[in-house]
Amino acid sequence: MSLKSNVAKRKGGIVCVSIRGSIDVEGSAALEKELAGILASATKALILDMGGIDYIGSVGIRVIMTAKKNVEGAGGDFMVTGLQPNVKNVFDILHLIPLVNIFVSVKEAEDALAGRQ
């Protein structure tokens, strides 16, 4: 299954990207291109909703961690929501859980952002 994404811009420079499919080599390239366009704008927070992701490879992890580094390097917030159990296992194995702000839902991530402002 190819990667599909939906970008929703919220007030205050918050961007939510919902993705579905597999973040394999092909999906990673598509996600990297999508995120590059978003990160080129004034993004104060990026919420990556991965609830529809059924597979992630090492290249996909690199794309996500690069986006995290870029957002946070510009003083923004980076959050991931909706990790499926098999994808969460990859994050666990790579010890990424403490490095990435992970939330159950987009609403939970938005509430955390509202609490920071």
- Edge-first strand order for the sheet with 77-81 is 4-10, 14-23, 45-56, 77-81, 101-103
Range of the domain at 110: 4-116
What percent of the chain is predicted at pLDDT more than 90? 78
CA 6, 33, 65, 21 torsion-angle sign:
positive
Give the CATH number of the domain where residue 58 resides. 3.30.750.24
32-79 pLDDT, tens digit each:
999 998 888 878 999 999 999 999 999 999 999 999 999 999 999 999
Neighbours of 90 (CB within 10 A): 18
Taking residues 22-36, what's their average pLDDT?
A: 93
Which residue carries 């597979």 as its tokens?
55
Q: If pLDDT is split at 50, 70 and 90, which confidence band does 1 have? A: low
Number of domains in the chain: 1
How much is the pLDDT for 115? 77
Cα–Cα distance for residue pair 26/42, rounded to 1 Å:
27
